[in-house]
Amino acid sequence: MELHSDETLWYFFKKGEHNAFSLLFKKFYPQLHVYGTKISSSPAITEDCLQNFFIQLFEERDKPRNIKNLKAYLFVSFKRRLIKQLQSNQKNVPISEAQLFKTNFNFSAEEISIHQEVQFLCTRTLNSLINQLSPRQKEVIYLKYYSEMNITDIAEVMDMNYQSVLNTLQKAMKKLRVSSENQQIKTILKKN
């Protein structure tokens, strides 16, 4: 089963597909774990809470939930669960969410440096790939992603019909995906 969007993944998860749960776990567990370690100074508490979070999510998959953004829902739900766990571990000392973040949500210089380097390399690679596109494809990419125009506005600016803009954009994105050897760039391009 190929699940390309979070909506599709959530739909099949709610239907009880074990493969969907496995994909959900693999996709979000690492992100939630890193996020949890920023909130909690205890790796053991973070790990236990995250595992219990996914167990509860699986057990309560039949509950009706109106979710517009799966990633945001998972992050918010896990954060609440982790904070509740940390507060209960503090016994008689009340602790606010603001106090938790003030003391625990830190980035090391190495994390920031690595993130900036990866962003720089991705940007440089992506710019190089975009420059290999046809002039019309470059213009569509620029208007869509840099100027944040919708397809209707792009069609008007470029004096093209709506479908032609979609086709040009699709061909450009396909060419970028095929040309990219960088897995992070491919991941970014798949989202668009």
One domain, residues 151 and 90: no
One domain, residues 75 and 149: no
Interacting residues of 152 by C-beta distance below 8 A, sequence separation 6+: 162
Q: What is the CATH number of the domain that holds 157?
A: 1.10.10.10
One domain, residues 91 and 170: no
Q: How much is the pLDDT for 118?
A: 73
Query: Does residue 1 sit within a domain?
Result: no
Answer whether residue 95 shows pLDDT above 60.
Answer: no
Answer whether residue 2 shows pLDDT above 70.
Answer: no
pLDDT tens digits for 170-182? 999 888 888 776 5
Answer whether residue 97 shows pLDDT above 60.
Answer: no
What rounded mean pLDDT belongs to the chain?
81
Q: What is the CATH number of the domain that holds 64?
A: 1.10.1740.10
Domain containing 123: what range? 109-191
Which contiguous run of DSSP H or E holds residue 126? helix 109-130
Q: Please say whether the dihedral angle defined by the alpha carbons of residues 72, 65, 58 and 50, taken in this order, is positive or negative.
A: positive
**Boundary residue ending a domain (73, 104, 135):** 104
Q: Tell me whether residue 1 is exposed, middle or buried, using C-beta atoms within 10 angstroms of its C-beta: 0 to 12, 13 to 18, 19 or more.
A: exposed
**Boundary residue ending a domain (104, 135, 157):** 104
One domain, residues 20 and 84: yes
One domain, residues 121 and 82: no
One domain, residues 97 and 10: yes
Answer whether residue 6 shows pLDDT above 90.
Answer: no
Q: Residue 84: what are its φ and ψ, rounded to 5°?
A: -60, -40
Q: Average of pLDDT values for 161-175?
A: 93
pLDDT tens digits for 14-67? 888 888 999 999 999 998 998 888 778 788 999 999 999 999 999 998 888 888
Query: What predicted TM-score, i.e. pTM, was given to this entire model?
Result: 0.53
Overall number of domains in the chain: 2
One domain, residues 84 and 114: no
Q: How much is the pLDDT for 102?
A: 43
